[in-house]
Amino acid sequence: MGGIAGIIQFDGKEIRTAEVNKITGLLAHRGGLTATNIENGLLMTFGGSVENTPDRQILSVADADVFSSVFPESPFSSNYALKGPAGFDEPNADFALALWDTAAQTLYCARDILGVKPLYYVHQPDRFFAFASEIKALNALHEVRVIPNMHKVREYLTWHVTNLTYSAETFYEQIYSVLPGHYLKVSSKQTEEIPFWQPDFKRFHQLGGIEEYASSFREIFTGAVTSRISNRQHVGSHLSGGLDSSSVACVAQSALIQQGKPALNTFKIDTGKPLAEEERFVQDVVSQWHTNHHRVTPLDDVLGSIVKINTIFDRPEQFIMPSSFHLSISNELERMGCDLILTGHGGDNVAINGFDYLDELMQAGDLNAFKTACEQSYDHNTKHPFTRGKSRKAGYDKYMLSLLTPEIRSSYRKEPLFSFLSKMRGYKQGLNISDKAIVKYIFNKIAHKSAAPAVLTDAMTREFKQQTQPRKQRTTYALVKSVMENQGIALEGVLNHTNVICNEQANHIGAYYGHQYAFPFYDKNVIELCLATPLDVSFYNGRGRGLIRHGLRGIIPASVGTRNSKANFIEYGLHAAQQLYHAAWPQLASPSHKIWEIVDREVFSKIVSVVFNEGIHGKHKPRYIWQLSRIIYLAIWLDAIEKPHQNNI
């Protein structure tokens, strides 16, 4: 836990004691207060200490966890004194930082590369600048008007088919978030956002083959987990039975045993839904490592959970699964006195499956290698491996066509008909796909499309969309683009809106319940190694996720290391959405509710009918479950911000 806040009065006015008291009251759950004065301002840290250089020309406060055995006593102030803002890239750390340079009369705010630590700010030119770890502390200031940001609402209610870049805008007008991997340079008249993260992928270029990459992953990942549990006595870890959570839990328990500390507490959420069940893999981890294992169930009160998280997080629910799913573990952690909870969040975005290797081969025109790789992938990632005879051929053809579908669509749209048909003949001959399989595949695609409900991008009214036309925002896009252009590495799978928002929400929940979330897969060294790993290494002869499967052999159970399935939470997501609708509808039913100024009520009714229609298969419903849930989350939040903000949640 921890947090920071501060105010600078550029107009020279005295900082109101009442303002400071409001901030300290709202952030008291993050730790004891330590503060220091700067010119016309105040820096505050909760649960931390003030850093300064010997001459006190540089002062800083940080909510930081530094993952290095060797670092200076004041890592941020010292690094800044030596290298300026470039020094923010030096520590391997999760951090939110505010640093005052007395000589330059400049304030810097900075944030770790994936936004594990949140940091928000408000700036009124020539008047004041304020920052805090939680938005509620800024909304409580006398000169801040709480105004919903309807452009953010539009973004929130729009279904995006690709990763959305993280933007500085929040759900409140005039309140912004510091971008991950960036620092904010603050003056009386303006703020300037500048990226400081310079990923060092070249240090791994000397590695060769799966053995060397996997060995490096094992060493670096073990260090990432170990550094996060040092100085902790009661450690918890999510354990779903999946590859990511199992990797974290196994490495953590191994480290705790070596350190002679109490056993790891592992937590599995039991949804009671068959498709989400992974108990066999969980038990294999528990049996091998003898963790103290706990099964918890989602909270029954889904609506109450959403109301609570909206208050804790200051904005509509953002988790993919509803808060009743996550708060159940937080309640158990609080009861047991655990001060740290490890999670495998982000693992599949960082230590990727490498299946883009197939696209790489396709783009290179190497059909023989593509065919071999497809056979390997099919063998390891389908329920029934290749068998002899017709079943083997039929399975191969169907799988191959499913992989070719994006390329076929792209070629059909972009190329002349003759060129397209010629390419298709080449695929058919080079990959040995039968005519019968092609006809059957096309027929099934048409039938599947006719059985699915109409595609829905959003449920907003035409008037609302006209009033909230997209506007230019400050985002992480420039950083992502720069790394791709200069180093050929794609960051968007890791540094995106969904991942950062989940990090922020976990931080808020942990601070409220008295424990800290830790993300070993978001360790700076782990990220840079994994993103530098060649696709064929991650592909691992069709198994996928080669760094984990090969690198952690002997640490994770063999059953987990070789599993090729993932839990499916559609059943639980559908159940939770239906439960939430029944609980929330009495509040939304009135035609005068503010939500109907944003959402088309007729379209909303269609969404509800799809979600509750038992004749529509669950695989066709995720987009509708998502829309229904977000509309209700938003309605609850709109109700909440109209009420006076409570000082103690």
Domain 202-349+494-562, what fold?
Answer: Rossmann fold (3.40.50)
pLDDT-derived band at 121, boundaries 50, 70, 90: very high
Looking at per-residue confidence, does 244 or 411 come out higher?
244
pLDDT of residue 615: 93
pLDDT at 194: 97
Axis-axis angle for helices 323-336, 302-313 (nearest 10): 80
- Determine the pLDDT at residue 388: 45
pLDDT at 645: 47
Mean pLDDT of 275-289: 90
- Please state, in angstroms and rounded to a whole number, the distance separating the CA atoms of residues 58 and 209: 46
CATH of domain 3-195: 3.60.20.10
- Would you say residue 105 has pLDDT above 90? yes
Q: What is the pLDDT of residues 375-428, one digit of tens each?
A: 888 888 665 444 444 567 777 788 888 888 777 777 777 888 888 778 778 878
Please, what's the b/e burial string for 295-304 (b: 16 or more CB within 10 A of its CB; e: otherwise)?
A: ebebbeebbe
User: Does residue 649 register a pLDDT over 50?
Assistant: no
In sequence order, which ranges of 415-473 are alpha helices (DSSP H)?
A: 417-431, 435-451, 462-467
What is the pLDDT, as a whole number, of residue 648? 37
179-to-128, 188, 192, 282, 497 alpha-carbon distances in Å? 20, 20, 11, 36, 11
Q: Is 267 helix (H, G, I), strand (E, B) or coil?
A: strand
Cα 104 to Cα 12, 35, 187, 417, distances in angstroms:
17, 21, 10, 64
Could you count the other beta carbons within 10 Å of the beta carbon of residue 379? 16
Is it the case that residue 172 has pLDDT exceeding 90? Answer: yes
How high is the pLDDT of residue 583? 95
Torsion region of 237: left, alpha or beta (phi above 0 gives left; psi -120 to 50 gives alpha): beta
Locate 597 and state its tokens. Answer: 């100024």
CB-based contact 2:31 (threshold 8 Å):
yes
Q: Is the per-residue pLDDT at 119 higher than 70? A: yes
What pLDDT, on the 0 to 100 scale, is given for residue 646? 43
Helix (H, G, I), strand (E, B) or coil at 105: coil
Cβ neighbors of 602 (< 8 A, separation 6 or more) are none
Model confidence at 277: pLDDT above 80? no
Stretch 64-77: mean pLDDT, rounded? 84
Mean local confidence (pLDDT), 357-366 = 88
Given the DSSP bridges, would you call strands 3-9 and 128-132 parallel, antiparallel or unpaired? antiparallel
Residue 345: its pLDDT value, please? 94
Residue 440 has pLDDT above 50, yes or no: yes
φ, ψ (nearest 5 deg) of residue 297: -115, 150
Contacts of 475 (CB under 8 A, 6+ apart): 165, 166, 167, 168, 179
Residues 18-43, mean pLDDT to the nearest whole number: 96
Which residue has better confidence, 120 or 431? 120
Higher pLDDT, 439 or 608: 608
State pLDDT tens for residues 562-598. Answer: 998 888 788 888 998 999 999 999 999 999 999 999 9
So what's the pLDDT on residue 456? 81
CA 238 to mean position of chain CA atoms: 16
What length does the chain have?
649
DSSP for residue 10: T
Tell me the mean pLDDT in the region 356-368.
88
CA nearest neighbour of 490 among 579, 316, 642, 359: 359
- In this prediction, residue 275 has a pLDDT band, given cuts at 50, 70 and 90, of low
Asked whether 491 and 531 are in contact (CB, 8 A), the reply is yes
pLDDT in tens, 608-637: 999 999 999 888 899 999 999 999 999 999
Residues 6+ apart with CB under 8 A from 161: none
List, for residues 506-519, the tens digit of each pLDDT value: 999 999 999 999 99
- pLDDT for 387 equals 45
Alpha-carbon distances, residue 567 vs 273, 284, 604 (angstroms): 10, 16, 29
pLDDT at position 436 is: 76
> In sequence order, what are the beta bridge partners of 96?
63, 111
* φ, ψ at 497 (rounded to 5°): -55, -50
Task: Examine the pLDDT at 143 and tell me if it is beyond 50.
Answer: yes
Regarding predicted confidence, which is higher, 379 or 137? 137
pLDDT at 192 over 80: yes
Tokens 């901030």 correspond to 23
Average pLDDT over residues 2-20: 95
